[in-house]
Structure 1
Amino acid sequence: MRDRRRRRSRRLSLVGAAIFILSWSLLAVGTQADGAAVAEWGGPPVTIADVLIRVDAPLSDDFDWRGWAIALMRLTPGDLLTPEQLQQSCEALAPLARVSAHVDPGPGGAVVTVTLQPYPRIESISISGAYPLFEKDVRTAMTLASGDVFQPEEMPSQEALVVQRYTNEGYIDPRVCIRWEQAGDEGHYRLDVAIEKGPHYVLGDVRPHGNRVFEDTDIISRLKTWRIGTFGLGFGRFVARDLEADIDSLIAFYRRQGYADAAISPKLTYKPRDQRVDCDLTIVEGPRYRVRFEGNRFYSDFRLRRDLVLTEKGNLGNMGIRRSIQNIRRRYLAAGFADARLSWETDDRSEAGLAVREVVIQVDEGRRHIVDQVILRGNRRLSSDLLYEHILTRPPGTLSAGPYIAQVLSEDLVAIRALYRNRGFLEAQVTEEVQIDKTRVGETTGKETTGEETTAAVRVIVHIDEGPQTRVANVSIDGDAPLSSETLRGAAGLKSGDVYVPEQVNNDENELAARISEAGYPHVKVTGIPRLSEDRTRVDIRYRVEAGPFVRLGRLFFFGNFRTRVAFLARESGLATGNPFDLRQVLEAQRRLRDLNIFDSVQVQPVGLKEKDETVHLLVTTSERRPYYFEMGGGFQTDKGIFGRAKVGDHNFLGSGKDLALSAEASEVGSRYEASLTEPRLLGTRISAGAGVYVERSEPFNQSFGVDTTGATLNLSRDWGPHLKTVLANQFERREQYRRDDVAPDETEDPRDYDPRRIFVTTPTVQWDSRDSFIRPRHGLLASLAVDFSVGIDDSLDDFVKYRLDARGFYPLLARVTLAGRVYAGYLEPYGGDQPPEDQLFFLGGAATVRGYKENMLRYDADGNPVGGQLALTAGLEARIDIGRNFELIPFLDTGSIQQTLVSAGSDQFRWSYGLGLQYITPIGPVGIFYGRKIDARPGESSGRFHLSIGYTF
């Protein structure tokens, strides 16, 4: 019953959210220019004979202006027309077009002629010179977006907004110029925001004043603003808000050292000519606090210090001490010390010329009240065992010391009353009787100290007067319900014979309204009327239904989609003209369109819903993102060497939400060139499909061979929830393995390994990802299981099944310590009778697997060549310790083993390494250096190795 009610509650919450969002969108129509709607008529009411819509549109626009005007104005031949009605109808169109109306009275009625002049709109906004800000930061500063009405007079204010944004970022005199041009023959406009940042301020002198405890250098070095400025040499950009954050951190540092009254105020002196800002810090350190406890026997000083907030909140007006006293009092109350009394006093003195304030907290613990018995009296219909499950007040047991807490007992009584009410006992009375035996004296053991404390035994008696139980006798539905009574009674939670819960009537009202609303009655109202019998043992419930008018979904008008095709948007919305109007389906359509990730915003406005029209049209206003993108990057990694990559693409290819991308990467271990096309929703389903072709050359470090590959891919994936994802990858490739020029031939090799091979591989994958962050996870699990089914087309070398299991877990061990672990297993099983080629084997060693070893060199032969195997096992454990200032110190332990090799060389034993790493956390991930040391280094091997990495190793 409870699970069913929860599901109904969630469902009704969705309906409520839909109503709220769509009601809000009714108000968010747009910006209306003065004089945009003119109705040239002020005569008496007349009958409408005809309505003519004229569109004076020099714009190339696919928007159906006539259909939109008819839908929005709601002027129907045969209706009576008033000047007020005509003006309101024109004003409804004014946000998107300049409107004028003319009325020609005639003997058969009036002919209303409405002329629309659509406003030119902003097709796109390009931004140049945004660095160091992202383009989205500049767009956020502006109040204009793609799809908005183009108004040249607004451009100076937009320029001022961007200037202010860069001024806040420390630039002295930034200049912004917004230029515009018409987009070809379409008549709309493209904006070009050109930003000339000019010089920026740098932090000059930092002069602390008033500090006696800490040296100037210690204070200055703690300012991140000063460190960004390259240690005060004037290279970094000064941003005032960063200094504010530094001052907050400095105050926190003072508080941690015991200076709870510390206050720091900056005075900034801007020198535009010198392009610098000097900073004077006025520091009021205040006394150093020392806190001492007296009278506490049950709790140790160490435990009570956890409740002090002086180091976090300070002590302005002694608020820190008062809050600390409240925390300690709550701790004692939770342990059963109902009579605990606390007081405090301070003593100011000077030590070595520095002010010291000693705070003495006096604790009078009093008796500890321990529950001796909990007795239930008066319960006949509900068992004592069931009631005890809802009571937290109980005698000492395995998991509880049994303290008596008056507040907890009050909550227990509320829980018992709620339990009875949910079982139909509407008049149940629950009272308590507490008997305290203060004559009992015993020896108890506190959590920190052992001593003799006096305890009082508490006997709790719960008196219950159940009263009659009320059950549902009859459920009836009347009114103009469009659904059958049997259907609606089945949807109601309360049925004949059920216990009566009054709150369920409200839930049923909403549930029945939701069911009827789905059938096209969005204005439905359901009222539940219960009628109790005289003895209150039975209740008849009558649900009265006022369905309101039947409403159908009219047309969908898409506005702001300059590039995206209307047919694609209509398909993705999942809505169909003529269907019953359902608010939840409309909300779901809005979510689906937003999830395409090609729009900055999507707003759905129902037209005619508020007026209770029989047909409700939808205006879907979109703001398209810039579809084209270009990315490039490079660097150095131990497993790649020097590398560079670039990618160019279109997020909205052919206006259908597809992602077309061309990418290239080159490094010391090879190159790869790829073209791909991704369909986010294959045939309108939740399945994402991607196809691509690629050319790759791979020469991994320390390998005797290289591989040239040409291939094509087809991947299908689906998200099944917030964490679970499945992928089916299909790959056809032509591989040609070759011996590298710097490696001597090996007579034992199979010559067929170097023949061209054609291979087809299909790989189903299941992935679970519950990490709290993609860039810097603190807790969660990332696990995947993939199986490669490989078939060699030309021969049986590539006939194998390859299993790969990868699991990575993260756990916040302490506030600044994250424990991270990884387990990986790979196994290759041939089924064609031949040994697998070397380029399909597993190799271990290097920054991504077992640190301290060269890349792919965990196992090697007598000539120093890497040895691969059909089985690879590796694991790693590291503690990521936040040492502040965006640095992490990472001790680690790695192990791995390569087994089932094709040659008899090396050992199946696990190789181990340990070491230490230091990483700097950037906004896009960590960059670090690691040193791994072999635990079982063999003769001739190096003791360890350094590794450079971008991103976490796992």
Structure 2
Amino acid sequence: MKETAVICMLMFILCSFSFGESAASNNNIVRIIVKGTDNTRKDLIISVMSLKEKGEYLEQKATADFKKIFALGYFSDVELAKDIDPEGLEIIVTVKEKPMIDDIVYNGIKEVGKGDLEEETGFRKGDPYDLAMLKKAVEKILAKYKEKGYLLAIIDYEIKEEEKGDKVKIIFNINEGRHMYISKIKFAGLKNFTESTLKSKMETSEAAFLVSGNLDYEMLERDFQKIAVYCKSEGFFFANVSSHKITFDEAKEKIYLEIAVEEGDQYRCSDVKFTYNNDKIYKEEELRAAFTLKKGDVFNYETFQRDLDKIRYMYSEKGYIETEVSGDTYPDKEKKTIETTIKIKESGVFFIDKIRVEGNYKTKDYVVLRELKIKEGEMFDSAKIRKSLENVYNLGFFEEVTPGLLSVLDKPDRREIVLTVKERQTGQLQLGANYSSSDGLTGTLSVSENNFLGQGQRISLSWEFGASKQAYELSFYEPWLFGSPVSSGVSLYNTLKASYTDYKDKRIGGNLKFGFPVSDDTRLWLTYKYEQVNIYDVSSTATDLIRSVSGISDISSLTTQWVQDTRDSIFFNTKKGYRISASMEFAGGLLFGTTNFTKYILDTSTYYSISGDLVLALRGSTGYTTGFGSTPNVPFYEKFFVGGTDTVRGYGERALSPQDSTGTAVGGNFMAMGNVELRFPIFSPIFGTMFFDAGKSWNHVTDFDAANIPTSVGLGLRIMLGGAIMIRIDYGYGFDPLATKGGQIHFNMGNIF
């Protein structure tokens, strides 16, 4: 009996095992079959599936695969089925393909190119046809025409199927209409503002030279907000754009825009109150002193918001980075006043846990981290963080530098700083032409890398060639020598200038320089230069002054330069800060060489942001040189030359310098010069400038006459190319008899200062 029971149990176990093995094998996928494809590769479908041959079948994966196959966009119907095979499961994928686009026709296009429309629609020959995508394409084409100024464009479409139904031809029928532009912008309801003032606050504008006058509805809505904000900044607290009306002329070409503004009454500030919890951080008198808006002032809403930001910044400088600062306003409509209450809810002090850099695929982390004024473990200081961001941006390696804060697990008073950067192209191979008023037309071939091997080093090789100039230069710059903040650089050059009337000037030499940090914004530079100067091909009509220095002479000099630079950007878009440079060059004497002189130069520039990208830039420069020993007279080529493209515009090159009896500029021992520029955006990437220049060089300091310094005024354009190159075009008109009659146009690269 027991034997029978044991045998039955063994048989049951064996049957159970066999059944389980069979079930397991039936759940394995032995093959995947795809049906219904004529234009779509079967392996594409299989590649997106989670179910794989020899893998296990799961319903969750099958559901996900259905969605993935459908998401390919090639099919109007998808079915997944399974068939039991003696060896396992067979997965059958049956699809119904959408018709393929065989041809796309754009009828009626004249002003917008076919390539632009194809880019907008995203349709290409061979793509699957989808009605929903087609309707979106029509919307995109309409948007493109509106962007180009064709507001009344009409678009419809036709679909022509082939007999088999597997291919379609899409025909867009486009009636472009006439190009429309804003002819007139008028305002209604104005009492305290002029139309020209409000127009200047808008991006939308009337058509004019270099201004399209296109109507963009989204831009117009933003302009309404700008108008309201501006009116509020003038104390009209309840001002708003109440309505607007758009009409066209009969020809459907001109657009007339009328904007109704409700100004309301002007309000003044009656009182500013503060509520806070911790007076050990700041006393009320300190907060009140930082607040620009005072009792009795016209209530400027923009100033009010900036003052709130200023208070937040003050707290973040001391580590209270999550302090909440809000401002409540209480208008009194009878008295036309506004009382404000500034509510401050202090946070705790926060410390820096870790600092990470992200997005730097080429630049080494340490190249970024060494520029920071903040360190791990320190208390947060927003002033140091701002300066750190400026330092990183001024490396020139990044288009964007964005800081972020992350909480740290189990450390509530600590935050991790993440600097996310977007790298820009730092290596350049340039072959082009350049025209300057001094050297004429020259060709340029240069190879440079401003972030060599991602280590922040700069290396460049350049060749400039033309009828009047040949120049070669090889340079290398190391910003952190041996891991210290001492910078160093070396350059070798060979330059020939043949643009002068009476002689040619050839120079071969090099320099070695070191920069030592004095403070965050100040650096001391020491530069040794050795240069061989050859003045040759001196004409028979040249004066004795030029003849006296003909032949080869050697210059061995050491320059000490003190530079303080607080500019927010060292590139073309400087908006605030200043730069002061004072240098002394000593040549000859104990340094040997055949030329002895000392040269002193003081150069200052200051920048003020008036509003947004409107910047006032000021520059003053003066210099003095004198010889000693065997060369008491400084060679003319080491003197100061003023006039022309980079000094005082509206005059010929070197025209404001002392001249010899033949009219050749021979330079002065003393120079004074000043420039004023008002820089403003026109439309990206073009900026404009209005300028005033003054300056001259003299033989002696005693010849200086402030009342008779030549001056000029003018206009200029700055054209940015690729974010790294600026073309400068200036027209200057001088008021001195030495000025070019009718003014002069100047061309060069980069800002004048």
Any conservation in 2 of the 1:930–1:947 contact (CA below 8 Å)? yes
Give the RMSD, CA atoms, in angstroms: 7.2
Question: Which residue in the other structure is 2:586 paired with?
Answer: 790
1:756 partner SS: strand
Partner letter of residue 656 of structure 2?
A: L
Any conservation in 1 of the 2:486–2:514 contact (CA below 8 Å)? no
Any conservation in 2 of the 1:657–1:680 contact (CA below 8 Å)? yes
Partner letter of residue 638 of structure 1?
A: S
Q: 1:905 to 1:862 in 2, by over 3 A?
A: farther
5+ unaligned residues in a row in structure 1: which ranges?
Answer: 1-202, 209-219, 227-231, 270-276, 420-431, 437-454, 464-500, 523-559, 575-580, 602-608, 612-622
Any conservation in 2 of the 1:309–1:324 contact (CA below 8 Å)? no
Do residues 757 (structure 1) and 554 (structure 2) align?
yes
Question: Which residue in the other structure is 1:855 paired with?
Answer: 653
- Counterpart pick for 2:710 among 895, 911, 923: 911
Q: 1:353 to 1:892 in 2, by over 3 A?
A: closer
Q: 1:456 to 1:206 in 2, by over 3 A?
A: same
Question: Which residue in the other structure is 2:505 paired with?
Answer: 706
Any conservation in 2 of the 1:804–1:827 contact (CA below 8 Å)? no
Any conservation in 1 of the 2:497–2:506 contact (CA below 8 Å)? yes
1:456 partner SS: coil
The aligned length equals: 545
Q: 1:882 to 1:672 in 2, by over 3 A?
A: same
Give the Cα–Cα distance (whole angstroms) in 1 for the partners of residues 223 and 686 of structure 2.
36
Do residues 456 (structure 1) and 334 (structure 2) align?
yes
Any conservation in 1 of the 2:655–2:738 contact (CA below 8 Å)? no
Any conservation in 2 of the 1:889–1:918 contact (CA below 8 Å)? yes
- Counterpart pick for 1:642 among 435, 441, 447: 441
Do residues 838 (structure 1) and 642 (structure 2) align?
no
TM-score normalized with structure 2 length? 0.51
Partner letter of residue 661 of structure 2?
A: A
Relative contact order, higher structure (CA 8 A, sep 6+): 1
Partner letter of residue 533 of structure 2?
A: E
Any conservation in 2 of the 1:704–1:743 contact (CA below 8 Å)? no
Give the Cα–Cα distance (whole angstroms) in 2 for the partners of residues 360 and 625 of structure 1.
42
Any conservation in 2 of the 1:252–1:311 contact (CA below 8 Å)? no
- Counterpart pick for 1:774 among 571, 574, 586: 571
Q: 1:798 to 1:266 in 2, by over 3 A?
A: farther
2:671 partner SS: strand
TM-score normalized with structure 1 length? 0.42
- Counterpart pick for 2:483 among 684, 688, 705: 684
Give, in angstroms, the shift of residue 594 of structure 1: 12
Give, in angstroms, the shift of residue 600 of structure 1: 13
Give, in angstroms, the shift of residue 790 of structure 1: 1.4
Question: Which residue in the other structure is 1:735 paired with?
Answer: 532
Any conservation in 2 of the 1:782–1:807 contact (CA below 8 Å)? yes
Give, in angstroms, the shift of residue 371 of structure 1: 8.7
Any conservation in 2 of the 1:897–1:909 contact (CA below 8 Å)? no
Question: Which residue in the other structure is 1:57 paired with?
Answer: none
2:624 partner SS: strand
Any conservation in 1 of the 2:626–2:632 contact (CA below 8 Å)? no
Give, in angstroms, the shift of residue 852 of structure 1: 3.2
Do residues 805 (structure 1) and 603 (structure 2) align?
yes
Question: Which residue in the other structure is 1:726 paired with?
Answer: 523
Question: Which residue in the other structure is 1:533 paired with?
Answer: none
Question: Which residue in the other structure is 1:484 paired with?
Answer: none
Question: Which residue in the other structure is 2:735 paired with?
Answer: 935
Give the Cα–Cα distance (whole angstroms) in 2 for the partners of residues 711 and 346 of structure 1.
66
Give the Cα–Cα distance (whole angstroms) in 2 for the partners of residues 707 and 204 of structure 1.
62
Q: 1:679 to 1:812 in 2, by over 3 A?
A: same
Question: Which residue in the other structure is 1:23 paired with?
Answer: none
Question: 1:470-500 deviations in whole A, cap 9, x for unaligned?
Answer: xxxxxxxxxxxxxxxxxxxxxxxxxxxxxxx
Question: 1:29-51 deviations in whole A, cap 9, x for unaligned?
Answer: xxxxxxxxxxxxxxxxxxxxxxx
Partner letter of residue 646 of structure 2?
A: A
Q: 1:772 to 1:705 in 2, by over 3 A?
A: same
Give, in angstroms, the shift of residue 435 of structure 1: 13
Q: 1:643 to 1:390 in 2, by over 3 A?
A: closer
Query: What are the within-5 Å matches in structure 2 for residues 322-341 of structure 1?
Result: 327=228, 331=232
Question: 1:147-188 deviations in whole A, cap 9, x for unaligned?
Answer: xxxxxxxxxxxxxxxxxxxxxxxxxxxxxxxxxxxxxxxxxx
Give, in angstroms, the shift of residue 646 of structure 1: 3.3
Any conservation in 1 of the 2:502–2:538 contact (CA below 8 Å)? no
Give the Cα–Cα distance (whole angstroms) in 1 for the partners of residues 395 and 223 of structure 2.
53
Give, in angstroms, the shift of residue 639 of structure 1: 1.7
Give the Cα–Cα distance (whole angstroms) in 2 for the partners of residues 638 and 948 of structure 1.
6
Q: 1:238 to 1:695 in 2, by over 3 A?
A: farther
Give, in angstroms, the shift of residue 849 of structure 1: 1.6
Any conservation in 2 of the 1:824–1:875 contact (CA below 8 Å)? yes
Question: Which residue in the other structure is 1:744 paired with?
Answer: 541
Give the Cα–Cα distance (whole angstroms) in 2 for the partners of residues 914 and 267 of structure 1.
55
Any conservation in 2 of the 1:797–1:834 contact (CA below 8 Å)? no
Question: 1:510-554 deviations in whole A, cap 9, x for unaligned?
Answer: 66xx7xx89xxx9xxxxxxxxxxxxxxxxxxxxxxxxxxxxxxxx
1:634 partner SS: strand
1:744 partner SS: coil
Q: 1:850 to 1:625 in 2, by over 3 A?
A: closer
- Counterpart pick for 1:666 among 465, 469, 479: 465
Q: 1:330 to 1:853 in 2, by over 3 A?
A: closer
Give the Cα–Cα distance (whole angstroms) in 2 for the partners of residues 893 and 730 of structure 1.
33
Q: 1:569 to 1:697 in 2, by over 3 A?
A: same
Give, in angstroms, the shift of residue 787 of structure 1: 0.9
Do residues 875 (structure 1) and 674 (structure 2) align?
yes
* Bigger mean CA offset, 827-836 vs 320-329: 320-329
1:839 partner SS: helix
2:649 partner SS: coil
Question: Which residue in the other structure is 1:947 paired with?
Answer: 746
Question: Which residue in the other structure is 1:894 paired with?
Answer: 693
Give, in angstroms, the shift of residue 320 of structure 1: 6.0
Give, in angstroms, the shift of residue 785 of structure 1: 0.9
Q: 1:820 to 1:351 in 2, by over 3 A?
A: same
Give the Cα–Cα distance (whole angstroms) in 2 for the partners of residues 862 and 900 of structure 1.
14
Partner letter of residue 850 of structure 1?
A: V
1:858 partner SS: coil
Give the Cα–Cα distance (whole angstroms) in 2 for the partners of residues 758 and 692 of structure 1.
16
Give, in angstroms, the shift of residue 716 of structure 1: 2.9
Give, in angstroms, the shift of residue 684 of structure 1: 1.3
Question: 1:80-107 deviations in whole A, cap 9, x for unaligned?
Answer: xxxxxxxxxxxxxxxxxxxxxxxxxxxx
* Bigger mean CA offset, 905-914 vs 695-704: 905-914
Any conservation in 1 of the 2:147–2:216 contact (CA below 8 Å)? no
Q: 1:715 to 1:206 in 2, by over 3 A?
A: farther
1:692 partner SS: strand
Any conservation in 2 of the 1:789–1:801 contact (CA below 8 Å)? yes
Any conservation in 2 of the 1:315–1:321 contact (CA below 8 Å)? no
1:866 partner SS: coil
Q: Percent of aligned positions with the same letter in both sequences?
A: 16
Q: 1:672 to 1:814 in 2, by over 3 A?
A: same
Give the Cα–Cα distance (whole angstroms) in 2 for the partners of residues 356 and 670 of structure 1.
53
Give the Cα–Cα distance (whole angstroms) in 2 for the partners of residues 362 and 848 of structure 1.
47
Q: 1:237 to 1:781 in 2, by over 3 A?
A: farther
Any conservation in 2 of the 1:862–1:905 contact (CA below 8 Å)? no
Give the Cα–Cα distance (whole angstroms) in 1 for the partners of residues 183 and 398 of structure 2.
56
5+ unaligned residues in a row in structure 2: which ranges?
Answer: 1-104, 123-136, 159-171, 206-213, 316-327, 380-384, 401-407, 411-421
Question: 1:16-69 deviations in whole A, cap 9, x for unaligned?
Answer: xxxxxxxxxxxxxxxxxxxxxxxxxxxxxxxxxxxxxxxxxxxxxxxxxxxxxx
Partner letter of residue 790 of structure 1?
A: F
Question: Which residue in the other structure is 2:623 paired with?
Answer: 826
